Structure 1
Amino acid sequence: MATVSLRKVEKQYENGFKAVHGIDLDIHDGEFMVFVGPSGCAKSTTLRMVAGLEEISGGEIRIGERVVNDLAPKDRGIAMVFQNYALYPHKTVFDNMAFGLKMQGKPKEEIKERVTEAAEKLEITDLLYRKPKEMSGGQRQRVAVGRAIVRKPEVFLFDEPLSNLDAKLRVSMRVKIAQLHQSLKEEGNPATMIYVTHDQTEALTLGDRICVLNKGEIMQVDSPANLYNYPANKFVAGFIGSPAMNLVDTALREEDGNYFIELAPGSRVVIPTHKTTKFSQHIDTKVYFGIRPEHISISETADALNTIEGKLSVVENMGNEKYLHFRVGGNLIIARVSCIDVTTADIGRRFYFNLDTSFCHIFDGKTEENISL
């Protein structure tokens, strides 16, 4: 078990491209930290620098009390699970899992005990004498995780381990990894885990905390709930959540002490007073208005506060709920509603929608920082 600390860590390639811009991050003992962000945001590069598979151009990386900048991967006390499994095709599952321990010169009995224990945790005991080609992708990935477990590393590193699996297997493996982290904690051997994914559902369900990256910079590090409910900036607001937060380019207005924005001429939305403490310097300036789809509902009347009229353009039926895409002026907005009597036959009709602005956010038009927190 160990902390992982990054101080002003940078990565610049020989062609001058700077992939990572001075990252500062502390990962706690036994924490499950997830790196998430779009393709090219440097999440895998950052993970590989922690692993020692990628040299850093500046800064310092500590694992536990040791600065590991110049240590080889094998000396860092880490185990890594890759996207492509990286199993030896000619070896059995047992031999794949035992290989690292054999290289360390561990006794045969200890190797057998560790491999058997890890196989039981991952429910692959009946696969121990099969070869990789005889198994499914999900089974191979469990073997790759098992190979990491038997080494009893200080830090587990996962580089998009589930991206090659189909949707159902991804859910199953996600649960397995979460259970593994919890079981190690309950056994008194909590493991520090760093997990890279582009899938925000994985991030939100697995992480104790999530580090959102964009273009080699940290946008926000926080708990899943805080990232979702209190995004620090427009990027995090738009990236975390499915469907994404509605973000409208507009202007902040003030009248008789009330702050409001207009989604279209005549479609005024009043901002609650508890969100307006920082607004005085933003009057008549560009802002982004944000509201999540679940905070928009269909209204029977146009008279309620913050009720707007919109033209239905798309209906997505998700089973227990529907995503209603509607237009207000030039803005396309999504409402997430429990199953109601609206179908694709209603496309083109106009409906009244009520916005619960107690959950809305306002982002500065220039800095894109959340000024309503």
Structure 2
Amino acid sequence: MAEVVLKKAEKVYPNGFKAVHGIDLHVKDGEFMVLVGPSGCAKSTTLRMIAGLEDITGGEIWIGDRCVNDIPPKDRGIAMVFQNYALYPHMTAYENMAFGLKFKKTPKDEIDARIKEAAKKLEITELLDRKPKEMSGGQRQRIAVGRAIVRKPDVFLFDEPLSNLDAKLRVSLRVEIKELHTQLKKEGSTATMIYVTHDQVEAMTMGDRICVLDYGRIMQVDTPLNLYHKPKNKFVASFIGAPTMNIMETELDKDEDKTFVKINDEVIYLEEDMAQKVDSYIGKRVYLGIRPEDINMVSSDDPVMENTITGEVLVVEQMGNEEIVYFGIDGNRYIARQTPDLNEDLSTGAKKRFHINMRKCHIFDFETEENIIL
């Protein structure tokens, strides 16, 4: 078991392109850390630097009490699970899992015991005599995870291991990997895991903490709930959450003792405690952020409410237990997430009123894009 620490870690390629910009990250012993971000944000590059598959060109990487900058991958105490499984096609599952241990000259009886123990954990005992071509994608990935477990590394590294699987299987396996992490911790075994994904739903459901990256820079490292409810900046706010947060450009203004913004000339008032935090921004451009679940359609039978806007229904996604309503205002599109109301006309083009819960809003500095409310 070991912690992983990156100190001002950088990656610059020979052509001068800087992929990783001096990041600092501390992964605690036994923690499940997820690296997430859009394509090209350097999450896989960062993982490969930790693994030793990419040279580090600045800063330091520590695994446990060792700086591993100049230590080859095989001696770093890591085990990696790849997106494409990386199994030897001519070997059985048992042989694939045993290969690394044989290379280290581990005794045969110990190899057998480790493989059987891992197979039991992953429920793949009946697959040990099969070759990869005789297994489904999900079964192959379980074998790849089993191969990592038997090595008893200090750190597990996962590089988008579920992205080649269908949606239903991805959900099933992400639960199994999280359960495996919990089980290993209870047993006092290796449990430090760093997991790369581009899927923010996967990140939110799996990570103890999540590191959000963009263009080789860390945007925020926090728990899933804090990332969702307390995003530090506009990028994190818009990236985390599905459907995405509504973000609109507007201006803060004040009328007597009330602070407000306008959406298509309709006045939306801020709560008093929030207004105090943004008082120095009066008269300035800002970004207003509202989660879809904090915008709700007002029934045609309800009395006129404060903080409502009028929009034209564009598309409605019926999810059964909820509905996602896309509506337009003056050429801009917004999203509301709500409990279905079968009595309301949601046909395309219908004009509806939507109430905004300003107690849950976020306001971002127009220049720095930092969350002013925090």
Q: Which residue of 2 aligns with 1:168?
A: 168
Q: Which residue of 2 aligns with 1:67?
A: 67
- With over 3 angstroms needed to count, the CA separation of the structure-2 counterparts of 1:302 and 1:249, relative to structure 1, is farther
Q: Is 1:253 equivalent to 2:253 in the alignment? A: yes
Q: Which residue of 2 aligns with 1:57?
A: 57
Q: How does 1:277-296 map to 2 (within 5 A)?
A: 277-296=276-295
- Structure 2 letter corresponding to 1:20: V
Task: Report if the CA contact (8 A) 1:311-1:327 is conserved.
Answer: yes
Find the aligned partners of 1:67 and 1:278 in 2 and give their Cα distance: 43
Task: Report if the CA contact (8 A) 1:263-1:329 is conserved.
Answer: no
Q: Which residue of 2 aligns with 1:297?
A: 296
Task: Report if the CA contact (8 A) 1:315-1:344 is conserved.
Answer: no
Q: Is 1:44 equivalent to 2:44 in the alignment? A: yes
Shift of residue 315, structure 1, vs aligned partner? 0.7
Shift of residue 305, structure 1, vs aligned partner? 1.8
Q: Which residue of 1 aligns with 2:372?
A: 371
Q: How does 1:91-240 map to 2 (within 5 A)?
A: 91-240=91-240
Find the aligned partners of 1:122 and 1:236 in 2 and give their Cα distance: 34
Task: Report if the CA contact (8 A) 2:51-2:73 is conserved.
Answer: yes
Q: Secondary structure at the match of 1:90?
A: coil
- Structure 2 letter corresponding to 1:339: P
Shift of residue 329, structure 1, vs aligned partner? 2.7
- Structure 2 letter corresponding to 1:321: E
Q: Which residue of 1 aligns with 2:319?
A: 318
- Structure 2 letter corresponding to 1:325: Y
Shift of residue 250, structure 1, vs aligned partner? 1.0
Shift of residue 281, structure 1, vs aligned partner? 2.3
Find the aligned partners of 1:201 and 1:332 in 2 and give their Cα distance: 23
Deviations 1:37-80 (A, max 9, x none): 00000000000000000001100000001000000001110000
Deviations 1:98-136 (A, max 9, x none): 111111111111000000000111110000000000000
Shift of residue 257, structure 1, vs aligned partner? 2.5
Q: Secondary structure at the match of 1:244?
A: coil
Task: Report if the CA contact (8 A) 1:11-1:57 is conserved.
Answer: yes
- With over 3 angstroms needed to count, the CA separation of the structure-2 counterparts of 1:17 and 1:120, relative to structure 1, is same
- With over 3 angstroms needed to count, the CA separation of the structure-2 counterparts of 1:238 and 1:302, relative to structure 1, is farther
Find the aligned partners of 2:231 and 2:346 in 1 and give their Cα distance: 36
Task: Report if the CA contact (8 A) 1:33-1:195 is conserved.
Answer: yes
Task: Report if the CA contact (8 A) 1:287-1:362 is conserved.
Answer: yes
- Structure 2 letter corresponding to 1:126: E
Q: Which moved more, 1:277-286 or 1:167-176?
A: 277-286
Q: Secondary structure at the match of 1:168?
A: helix
Deviations 1:126-155 (A, max 9, x none): 000000000000000000000000001000
Find the aligned partners of 1:327 and 1:345 in 2 and give their Cα distance: 13
Task: Report if the CA contact (8 A) 1:19-1:216 is conserved.
Answer: yes
Q: Secondary structure at the match of 1:45?
A: helix
Shift of residue 277, structure 1, vs aligned partner? 3.6
- Structure 2 letter corresponding to 1:45: T
Find the aligned partners of 2:8 and 2:181 in 1 and give their Cα distance: 29
Shift of residue 276, structure 1, vs aligned partner? 2.9
Shift of residue 190, structure 1, vs aligned partner? 4.7
Find the aligned partners of 2:329 and 2:215 in 1 and give their Cα distance: 32
- Structure 1 letter corresponding to 2:122: L
- Structure 1 letter corresponding to 2:202: E
Shift of residue 278, structure 1, vs aligned partner? 3.3
Deviations 1:291-343 (A, max 9, x none): 10011111134622212211111111122111101122332110001122278
Task: Report if the CA contact (8 A) 2:34-2:196 is conserved.
Answer: yes
Q: Which moved more, 1:225-234 or 1:339-348?
A: 339-348
- With over 3 angstroms needed to count, the CA separation of the structure-2 counterparts of 1:302 and 1:263, relative to structure 1, is farther
Find the aligned partners of 1:174 and 1:207 in 2 and give their Cα distance: 11
- With over 3 angstroms needed to count, the CA separation of the structure-2 counterparts of 1:371 and 1:56, relative to structure 1, is same
- Structure 2 letter corresponding to 1:288: Y
Task: Report if the CA contact (8 A) 2:316-2:346 is conserved.
Answer: no
Q: Secondary structure at the match of 2:238?
A: helix
- Structure 2 letter corresponding to 1:77: G
Root-mean-square deviation (CA), in Å? 1.2
Find the aligned partners of 2:306 and 2:249 in 1 and give their Cα distance: 21
Shift of residue 260, structure 1, vs aligned partner? 1.1
- With over 3 angstroms needed to count, the CA separation of the structure-2 counterparts of 1:194 and 1:305, relative to structure 1, is same
- Structure 1 letter corresponding to 2:145: V
Find the aligned partners of 1:159 and 1:113 in 2 and give their Cα distance: 27
**Could you list the runs of 5+ residues in structure 2 that have no partner in the other structure?**
none
- With over 3 angstroms needed to count, the CA separation of the structure-2 counterparts of 1:304 and 1:25, relative to structure 1, is same
Shift of residue 351, structure 1, vs aligned partner? 1.0
- Structure 1 letter corresponding to 2:280: Q
Runs of 4+ in 1 over 3 A off after TM superposition: 342-345
Q: Is 1:350 equivalent to 2:351 in the alignment? A: yes
**Could you list the runs of 5+ residues in structure 1 that have no partner in the other structure?**
none
Percent identity over the alignment is 62
State the TM-score, normalized to the length of structure 1.
0.98
Q: Is 1:264 equivalent to 2:271 in the alignment? A: no
- With over 3 angstroms needed to count, the CA separation of the structure-2 counterparts of 1:181 and 1:128, relative to structure 1, is same
Shift of residue 287, structure 1, vs aligned partner? 0.7
Find the aligned partners of 1:247 and 1:342 in 2 and give their Cα distance: 29
